[in-house]
Structure 1
Amino acid sequence: MSVLDLARQVHDRCHLTGTFVLRSGLIADEYFDKYQFEADPLLLDRIAEQLVSLVPQDTEVLAGMELGGIPVAVALARHAGLPCAFVRKAAKTYGTERLAEGAEIAGRRVLVIEDVVTTGGQIAISTRQLRELGAHIDHALCVIDRQQGGAEALAADGITLRGLFSRSDLESAAG
Structure 2
Amino acid sequence: MTVTATSILAARVAETACVAGRFTLDDGQVLNSYFDEYRLAADPQLLHDVADAMATLLPDDAEVLAGIELGGVPLVAALSAATGLPAAFLRRLPKRYGSKRQIEGARVEGRRVVLVDDVVRSGGQLLAMTRILRVAGAPVTDALCVLERPLGGRLLLDEYGVTLHPLLTEGDLPAPSGAAS
Same fold (TM over 0.5): yes
What are the within-5 Å matches in structure 2 for residues 104-115 of structure 1?
A: 104-115=107-118
Q: CA RMSD in A?
A: 1.7
Q: What residue number does 2:34 align with?
A: 31
1:24 CA displacement = 3.4
What are the within-5 Å matches in structure 2 for residues 78-93 of structure 1?
A: 78-93=81-96
Higher RCO (C-alpha under 8 Å, 6+ residues apart): 2
TM-score (norm: length of structure 1): 0.95
Counterparts of 1:172 and 1:59, CA distance in 2: 34
TM-score (norm: length of structure 2): 0.92
Q: What residue number does 1:63 align with?
A: 66
Q: How many residues align?
A: 175
Q: What residue number does 1:163 align with?
A: 166
Matched, 1:18 2:21: yes
1:14 CA displacement = 1.6
Counterparts of 1:25 and 1:144, CA distance in 2: 20
1:94 CA displacement = 1.8
1:23 CA displacement = 3.5
Match for residue 96 of structure 1 among 99, 104, 107: 99
Match for residue 125 of structure 1 among 123, 128, 133: 128
CA contact (8 A) 1:8 1:173 kept: no
Counterparts of 2:60 and 2:10, CA distance in 1: 25
Alignment CA distance shift 1:161-1:29 (3 Å): same
What are the within-5 Å matches in structure 2 for residues 70-81 of structure 1?
A: 70-81=73-84
CA contact (8 A) 1:109 1:135 kept: yes
1:171 CA displacement = 3.4
Alignment CA distance shift 1:80-1:23 (3 Å): farther
SS of residue in 2 equivalent to 1:155: helix
1:172 CA displacement = 5.0
SS of residue in 2 equivalent to 1:2: helix
Counterparts of 1:93 and 1:16, CA distance in 2: 34
Structure 1 unaligned spans of 5+:
none
